[in-house]
Structure 1
Amino acid sequence: MSRSKEFDVNEVLDKAMILFWEQGYEKTSMSDLVTHMGIHRRSLYDTFGDKHSLFLQAITRYMGKVQANLTSEIKPSQTATEALYAIFQFMVTDQEDLPSGCLLVNSVTELAARDAEVNAKSIESFKGTEDMLEQIILWGQQDGEFTTKQSAKELAEYLHTVSIGIRVMGRSSVDKAKLLHIVDVSIDLLKS
């Protein structure tokens, strides 16, 4: 007869996600995870599998949370420009109680070159972000806010690259005002 779990799976997964985000994959040991998650080693293995499986589950959870947060930043009453500013504002400042940077971007720079599963997750996430940006840019192009000299797809790829750079810079002590200025310049470049 199996015992019922004495913990909330999503709650402890969130704890693992934060630890991986703070320390990175390589630096995080199983002992660190057990301590930080507040569960027994056996429960960790039974519920999440090995460290790599847990890491992939943490990335998936992170991707879902970020997508939900970014989507919630877009309001029907906004202009496309306002929607882009809201998304970038979220990326730069609205996560001050969380580790710096972006778990996914951090993981890509640490592991994607040698971990096919992390690479695949990053490509999936990056495509989702680019698709969202492309839809906003199309909206802005249709309303005359943004240039049509480049396709919405090209401009989305450009803005996504800027967003990755901002999240990498966010890992350092770069002033948030500088990052917000980069956002201003980037969005101004889209104007028609």
Structure 2
Amino acid sequence: MGRSREFDENVVLEKAMELFWRQGYEKTSMNDLVEHMGIHRRSLYDAFGDKHTLFLQAMDFYEELIKNKIKAGILHAETGKQAIQFIFDFIIEGYEDKQWGCLLVNSATEMALRDKEVEEKIERIFKETEQIIADLVRKGQQTGEFSCSYDSDVLSEVFQNTLHGIRVQLRMSASKEKLHRIADFFLDLLYK
């Protein structure tokens, strides 16, 4: 009979996610992970495999966490503009005061060119985000809330690119005022 785990897998996975998010993949050592997660090295390997496998699981954890927060905000929005404004505010203001940018954008710039698994995962997630935005814009255009001057798919691509830029600037400690001005400029495009 095997020993039961002495830790909550989701709790320690969240700790690993936060460490990768804050430090990046390369700067995070197995010793860092063991210490930050509060588990024994053997337990880490038994539960999550190697560092790369743990990193991929941490990315999945991050994706679900952020996706659930954004979907909840969109569901509570009464208009397309409120939904898009929520996404900008959520990204700019940070998740629980974590001003580390975005784990996915950080990982894309650090690893995507040399790690096919990371690249494919990030591409899939970015496409899903673009689709969510395109649907919001399309709905706003159909109800007359947004202008039809621009194609909804093009606007979702511009939105995604704007979010990436904001996330990178967050990592560099750009002022929130500046980032909100960028978000406001995008929102203005929806009415032109």
Amino acid aligned to 2:144: G
Report the count of equivalent residues.
192
Secondary structure of the structure 1 residue equivalent to 2:171: coil
User: Alpha-carbon deviation of 1:172?
Assistant: 1.1
Calculate the TM-score normalised by the size of structure 2. 0.96
Q: CA deviation digits over 1:100-146, x for unaligned, max 9?
A: 20001000000000000000110111011101101110111012122
Cα distance in 2 for partners of 1:33, 1:10 equals 14
Cα distance in 1 for partners of 2:47, 2:154 equals 42
Secondary structure of the structure 1 residue equivalent to 2:75: coil
Q: Which residue of 2 aligns with 1:64?
A: 64
Amino acid aligned to 1:172: M
Unaligned runs of 5+ in 1: none
RMSD: 1.1
Please tell me whether the aligned partners of residues 106 and 168 of structure 2 are also in contact (alpha carbons under 8 angstroms): yes
Cα distance in 2 for partners of 1:189, 1:25 equals 36
Cα distance in 1 for partners of 2:39, 2:94 equals 30
Secondary structure of the structure 2 residue equivalent to 1:170: helix
Q: Which residue of 2 aligns with 1:53?
A: 53
User: Alpha-carbon deviation of 1:166?
Assistant: 0.4
Q: Which residue of 1 aligns with 2:12?
A: 12
Q: Which residue of 2 aligns with 1:118?
A: 118
Which structure 1 residue ranges, 4+ long, deviate > 4 Å from structure 2? none
User: Alpha-carbon deviation of 1:51?
Assistant: 0.1
Q: Which residue of 2 aligns with 1:107?
A: 107
User: Alpha-carbon deviation of 1:150?
Assistant: 2.4
Q: Which residue of 1 aligns with 2:186?
A: 186
1:1-192 → structure 2 map (5 Å cutoff): 1-75=1-75, 78-192=78-192
Secondary structure of the structure 2 residue equivalent to 1:36: helix
Unaligned runs of 5+ in 2: none
Cα distance in 2 for partners of 1:94, 1:30 equals 27
Please tell me whether the aligned partners of residues 20 and 28 of structure 2 are also in contact (alpha carbons under 8 angstroms): yes
Cα distance in 2 for partners of 1:132, 1:25 equals 28
Cα distance in 2 for partners of 1:76, 1:86 equals 10
Cα distance in 2 for partners of 1:99, 1:180 equals 15
Calculate the TM-score normalised by the size of structure 1. 0.96
Please tell me whether the aligned partners of residues 99 and 170 of structure 2 are also in contact (alpha carbons under 8 angstroms): no
Between the two proteins, what is the percent identity of the paired residues? 51
User: Alpha-carbon deviation of 1:153?
Assistant: 1.0
Please tell me whether the aligned partners of residues 18 and 99 of structure 1 are also in contact (alpha carbons under 8 angstroms): no
Cα distance in 1 for partners of 2:58, 2:6 equals 20
User: Alpha-carbon deviation of 1:21?
Assistant: 0.6
